[in-house]
C-alpha cells in the first residue's frame, strides 16, 4: 500500500534554539518507511492487511453540517474508502487520554498511526514500547513534537515520523496577522462591550493602537515566519525583524524589507510585537519564561501559533497582569485540549483585555484541510 505521500525531512541543523529535532534517523518520508539501507512499505495481501489508527477530534453536528471538516472522527480525513478498498483496516478514535483509552488499546497492533496537531495522540516512550508493529507515525499537518523521536528511533528498528510539510502555512500565517491586529486594535474588549449592550468608546480606545510604525519581529523565519513578514509589509511597520540561525538571502531580505537580528534578547527589546514561529524541541520548551519575558519591550504584544509548551503559561499570565505584556494571543496550548483551569483561558491585562486566545484552529481552516488531504493522497516521493 502506498500511504501518505507528500512529506519532507524532519531533521534540521541543531545549531541554535530554533533548530528542529536532533534525531537523525527519524525522517519524514512519504510512501516509504526508511531504514539505514532499505525501504519498507505497508502492503496488503490476501493473508495480511495493515491496520491504520486515526486519532482525531469529534466533530458531532458540525462535521455533519460541513463534510469538508476532514479532521474529525466522522469524516476521517476522507481516507476510509480508499484504505478499505485496498484491504486495510482503519480504526478511528478521539479517546486518547489514559492507559485505558481507545488509543492505547488499539496502538498495540497498528502499523500506521495518524494524528493531527489539533488533537494530538501523544506517542510517548511508554506507548511506543507497546506498539510492536508500528512502522509509520504521521502528522496530518505540521509538527511532530507529540512524538518522542528518540524512542521512535529505537522502536521496531526505527519508526518513520512524517508530516505533511507546508500544507497549512498560509492558514497559520493569516491567523498570525489577524491575531496581531486583534490585539493591537483592542478588538476583543470592544466587541464584548457591544455584545453586552454597552457603548463606551473611551474605555476601549484607551488601549487601541495602529500597527503602522511599530517594530514587529518573528522568532524563526521558516515557511510560516517568512509568510508573516510578507503579509505585514503593506502595513508600513517601522521595522520587520527576525531571529533565526539561518538567514534569508539578501535578495529576500530586500524584497520583504526585513532585517536579521543576531541575538534573540536584542530583538525582543526592540519589538512592539513578537510572533513565535519556531518548532518545539528541547531547546525551545519553556523558552519564553519569566526571565525572557522581562527582556521584552514593556507593554508589547506576544503571539504564539507555534506550540503551547514554548511559553511558560503562568509566566505569561503574570506578565499580562503586571503590564510587561499588553497582550497575548494565539491558538496553541499544552496539553491539548486545554484544561478548563488553564491560566491562559482567562488571563488579562490590568484593563481587562489583552487576551486573543482561541482553540487550536489556525492551521485547520477548511481550505487548509483540503490542501492537506490533497497532498497526502496525490503527491508521492520517497524521503531523501
Q: Out of 304, 324, 336, 349, pick the active-site residue.
A: 336
**Taking a C-beta distance cutoff of 8 angstroms, is the pair 261, 269 a contact?**
no
> Would residue 307 show up in a list of annotated catalytic residues for this protein?
yes
Cell 493522497 belongs to which residue?
Answer: 377
Beta bridge partners of 38: 35
Q: Per the structure block, which three cell numbers stand in for 24?
A: 537523525
CA dist 301 → 53, 116, 233, 326, 348 (Å): 40, 28, 18, 5, 12
Residues belonging to the binding site are 142, 168, 223-224, 244, 279-283, 305, 331, 360-363, 380
Told to judge if 360 belongs to the known catalytic residues of this protein, a careful annotator would answer yes
Say which residues have a Cβ less than 8 Å from residue 279's Cβ, sequence separation at least 6: 18, 20, 21, 143, 145, 220, 306, 307
Q: What cell does 310 get?
A: 514554548
In sequence order, the β-bridge partners of residue 114 are 54, 138
Instruction: Point out the catalytic residue in the list 5, 119, 227, 360.
Output: 360
- 150 annotated active-site: no
Tell me the binding residues for substrate.
Answer: 142, 168
The catalytic position among 49, 75, 168, 186 is: 168
Please name the residue that has the C-alpha cell 490542501: 371
> Which of 296, 332, 341 shows the shortest CA–CA distance to 314?
341
The closest of 23, 33, 68, 56 to 139, measured between CA atoms, is 56
Q: Please, which residues have CB within 8 angstroms of residue 363's CB and are 6 or more apart in sequence?
A: 117, 118, 141, 142, 167, 168, 171, 172, 175, 305
Q: Is residue 289 annotated as a catalytic residue, yes or no? A: no
Which residues define the annotated binding site for NAD(+)? Answer: 223-224, 244, 279-283, 305, 331, 360-363, 380
Mind telling me the catalytic residues?
A: 168, 307, 336, 360
Amino acid at each position: 500500500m502506498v500511504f501518505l505521500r507528500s512529506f519532507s525531512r524532519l531533521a534540521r541543523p541543531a545549531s541554535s534554539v530554533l533548530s528542529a529535532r536532533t534525531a537523525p534517523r527519524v525522517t519524514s518520508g512519504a510512501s516509504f518507511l526508511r531504514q539505514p539501507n532499505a525501504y519498507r512499505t505497508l502492503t496488503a495481501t490476501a493473508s495480511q492487511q495493515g491496520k491504520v489508527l486515526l486519532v482525531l477530534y469529534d466533530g458531532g453536528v458540525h462535521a455533519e453540517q460541513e463534510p469538508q471538516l476532514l479532521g474529525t472522527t466522522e469524516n476521517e480525513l476522507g481516507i476510509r474508502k480508499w484504505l478499505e478498498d485496498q484491504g486495510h483496516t482503519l480504526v478511528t478514535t478521539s479517546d486518547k487520554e489514559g492507559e485505558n483509552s481507545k488509543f492505547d488499546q488499539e496502538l498495540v497492533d497498528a502499523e500506521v498511526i495518524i494524528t493531527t496537531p489539533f488533537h494530538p495522540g501523544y506517542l510517548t516512550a511508554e506507548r511506543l514500547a507497546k506498539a510492536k508493529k508500528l512502522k509509520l507515525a504521521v502528522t496530518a499537518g505540521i509538527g511532530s513534537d507529540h512524538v518522542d523521536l528518540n524512542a521512535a528511533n529505537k522502536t521496531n528498528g526505527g519508526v518513520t515520523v512524517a508530516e505533511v510539510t507546508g500544507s497549512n502555512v498560509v492558514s497559520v500565517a493569516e491567523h498570525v496577522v489577524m491575531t496581531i491586529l486583534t490585539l493591537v486594535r483592542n478588538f476583543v474588549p470592544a466587541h464584548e462591550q457591544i455584545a453586552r449592550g454597552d457603548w463606551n468608546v473611551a474605555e476601549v480606545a484607551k488601549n487601541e493602537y495602529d500597527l503602522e510604525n511599530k517594530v514587529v519581529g518573528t522568532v524563526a523565519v521558516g515557511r510560516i515566519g517568512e509568510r508573516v513578514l510578507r503579509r505585514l509589509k503593506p502595513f508600513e511597520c517601522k521595522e520587520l525583524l527576525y531571529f533565526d540561525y539561518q538567514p534569508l538571502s539578501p535578495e529576500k531580505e530586500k524584497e520583504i524589507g526585513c532585517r536579521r537580528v543576531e541575538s534573540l534578547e536584542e530583538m525582543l527589546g526592540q519589538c512592539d510585537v513578537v510572533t513565535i514561529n519556531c518548532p518545539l524541541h528541547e531547546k525551545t520548551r519553556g523558552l519564553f519564561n519569566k526571565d525572557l519575558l522581562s527582556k521584552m519591550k514593556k507593554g508589547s504584544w506576544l503571539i504564539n501559533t507555534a506550540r503551547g509548551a514554548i511559553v511558560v503559561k503562568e509566566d505569561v499570565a503574570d506578565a499580562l497582569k503586571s503590564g510587561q505584556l499588553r497582550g497575548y494571543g494565539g491558538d496553541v496550548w499544552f496539553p491539548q485540549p486545554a484544561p478548563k483551569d488553564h491560566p491562559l483561558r482567562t488571563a488579562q491585562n490590568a484593563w481587562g483585555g489583552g487576551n486573543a486566545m482561541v482553540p487550536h484552529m489556525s492551521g485547520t481552516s477548511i481550505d487548509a484541510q483540503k490542501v492537506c488531504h490533497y497532498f497526502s493522497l496525490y503527491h508521492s516521493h520517497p524521503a531523501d
